Structure 1
Amino acid sequence: MRMTVLRTGPLTVLKDAGRPGHAHQGVAPSGAVDRGAYGRANALVGNPPGTAVLECTLGGLRVSFDEPAVLALTGTDAVLTVDGVAAGVEEVVHVPAEGTVAVTMPKRGLRSYLAVGGGIDVPPVLGSRSTDQLAGVGPPRPVPGDVLPIGGLPVSSVSSVSPSTPDPQESFEVDLGPRDDWFTASAIETFLSAEYTVSPASNSVGLRLDGPALTRSRPEELPSEGVVRGAVQVPPDGRPIVFQADHPVTGGYPVIAVLTPQAADRAAQLRPGARIRFTRAPG
């Protein structure tokens, strides 16, 4: 089976579970920005975990298939349409041969995940089909006219997965550290109480936040050290950056806290202008 890309919208890339194990080569894991939504999309169409999908930012994607296909769309409230007819959200959709599928612009959320039964079978790079937009590793971004092969992977029974709606709550749980001791007590209090706004400069590398600056207790430079998805790094201007899936392997500024995995998934759906707060994770 083949899928032809007709339109990509603002940004469409290929994503899977990422390429862990290459940090020593300067290559970050990358992978889907919202891992929960990515996993649900594959489960709905019966794909094994780790299968490649399309990650679509703010809708606008349009594709067609030369054979009947099974699809699912997750992550936002964007609607999947088949030949112009709304077909559903967070549910299995059957598409006839030569059918045209489109993803509408979501009213809530940022990134939608389009899974196809069998998976997108482009050649992997370092064991992954994820496009890393920071390092430039992985398959290139699809463009109109591209024809993407759909794999013949063993497909399990189509799953019944509970839909997930973006949580309207604005609090994001974090574990403090590993460098919270580089900040004053008042900075920690501010971090855990103040409201921050997502900057338009945000992307899949990191969420840049506007709000109160966080004051350091130590003036010296921090040697570069490893960072992870969800790490909240504080550069010299004192305004936090939340690393997302395409984050660098190392960072040279202190990390005041790290989002829980569930909070990191929710952060992947934040649009510029969204207002958020941080709170300590239980325990």
Structure 2
Amino acid sequence: MTMTILRAGPLTVLKDEGRPGHAGQGVAPSGAVDRSAYARANALVGNPRGAAALECTLGGLRVRFDEPAVIVLTGTDAVLTVDGTRTAVEEVVTVAAGAEVAVTMPRRGLRSYLAVRGGFAAPVVLGSRSTDQLAGVGPPRPAPGDTLPIGPAPSSPATGTAADDTVADGTVASGMVAVPDEDGPLEVDLGPRDDWFTAAAIETFLSAEFTVSPASNSVGLRLDGPVLARARTEELPSEGVVRGSVQVPPDGHPIVFQADHPVTGGYPVIAVLTPAAADRAAQARPGARLRFTVAPA
């Protein structure tokens, strides 16, 4: 069974749970940017954890299956159409062989996840089928005319409901899209280098509004807004960073690392988003307004 790409849209890549454990080789975990939406898509069609899905940024995707397929779209309010007929949000649908499936541009959110029962059986690179756009590891971006193989159907049924299922970093795969500027501040844990910033900078970080820059991508959200002043000016040796790290370079404007972040960073990290907040940040478009708050103990 295969699927043919008719149109790839602005940015469509293959994603799964990522490739942890390769930092020593300079390869970050990568994986889906919104992990809860990705996991929910697989759960809805009955796939096991870790099955590869398509991560589609701002819609525009159009595909065709050569055999009947069971599919679902999660992550945004984008509409999945089958031969022009609209489906409900997060509705599991069976499409006929030869049917044309399209993803509209979402009004809310940024990244949608198209899962097919059986998962996409692209070649595995370092234990993952994820495309890492920073390291250049994993399958290439699908282009019009490309054919993607689909794996065998799993033994578990496609239930059409996504029970809570915790993914690798503790994110719970439940709920619909939640974008940060409409659903409250993003929760963070301060540190590990919050002591490198003035008390006024910490207060500003937790009270001011920041705007997502157009220069943002799956590596990091670049934020415009008030400058966060340092209390210490010496050079910080490079150290490991994780998804959701809020790194502050010398210009004082924060960068929120996303799934394709580098393995290490040489600037102080003022805070780290909780896993759920990192998923919400994954849906922030350029121009979105972000606020931060300390996560409850």
Contact 2:82–2:95 (8 Å) recurs in 1: yes
Structure 1 counterpart of 2:195 = 181
* CA deviation map 1:114-150 (0-9, x unaligned): 0000000011100100000000000000000000000
Counterpart position of 1:206:
220
Report if the CA contact (8 A) 1:170-1:275 is conserved: no
Aligned to 1:232: 246
Select between 126-135 and 158-167 the one with higher mean Cα deviation.
158-167
Corresponding residue number in structure 1 for 2:165: none
3-state secondary structure, aligned to 2:291: strand
The amino acid of 2:99's aligned partner reads: G
The answer to whether residue 181 in structure 2 is matched with residue 166 in structure 1 is no
Equivalent of 1:245 in 255, 259, 280: 259
2:141 — aligned with what?
A: 141
Q: Which residue number corresponds to residue 53 of structure 1? A: 53
Aligned equivalent of 2:291: 277
Q: What is the distance in 2 between the residues matched to 1:93 and 1:33?
A: 24
Structure-2 separation of matches of 1:248 and 1:166: 26
Q: In 2, distance between residues paired with 1:111 and 1:138?
A: 19
- After TM superposition, the runs of 4+ consecutive aligned structure 1 residues lying more than 6 A away are none
Distance in 2 (CA, whole Å) between partners of 1:67 and 1:87 is 19
1:109 matched to which residue of 2? 109
Cα deviations by residue, 1:248-267 (Å, 9 ceiling, x for unpaired):
00000000000000000000
Return 86-95 or 190-199, whichever deviates more: 86-95
SS at match of 1:88: coil
Q: What is the alpha-carbon distance in structure 2 between the residues aligned to residue 210 and residue 187 of structure 1?
A: 15
Contact 2:109–2:177 (8 Å) recurs in 1: no
Q: Deviation string for 1:210-244 (max 9, x for gaps)?
A: 00000101110000000000000000000000000
Partner of 1:74: 74
Q: 1:169: Cα distance to partner?
A: 1.6
TM-score (norm 2): 0.94
Which one-letter code corresponds to 1:154 in the other structure? P
Structure 1 residue 155, shift from structure 2 partner:
4.0
Runs of 5+ unmatched residues, structure 2: 163-173
Amino acid in structure 1 at the alignment position of 2:81: T
Match of 1:99 in 2: 99
Q: Specify the code of the residue in structure 1 equivalent to 2:274.
A: T
Structure 2 residue 271 is the aligned partner of structure 1 residue 262: no
Residue 167 of structure 2 aligns with which residue? none
Residue number in structure 2 paired with 1:25: 25
Structure 1, unpaired ranges of 5+: none
When the two chains are superposed, the root-mean-square deviation of aligned CA atoms in Å is: 0.9
Equivalent AA in structure 2 for residue 2 of structure 1: T
- The whole-number CA distance in structure 1 between the counterparts of 2:237 and 2:175 is 43
| Rounded Cα–Cα distance in structure 1 between residues aligned with 2:208 and 2:112 | 29
Mapped partners of 2:146, 2:280: distance in 1:
31
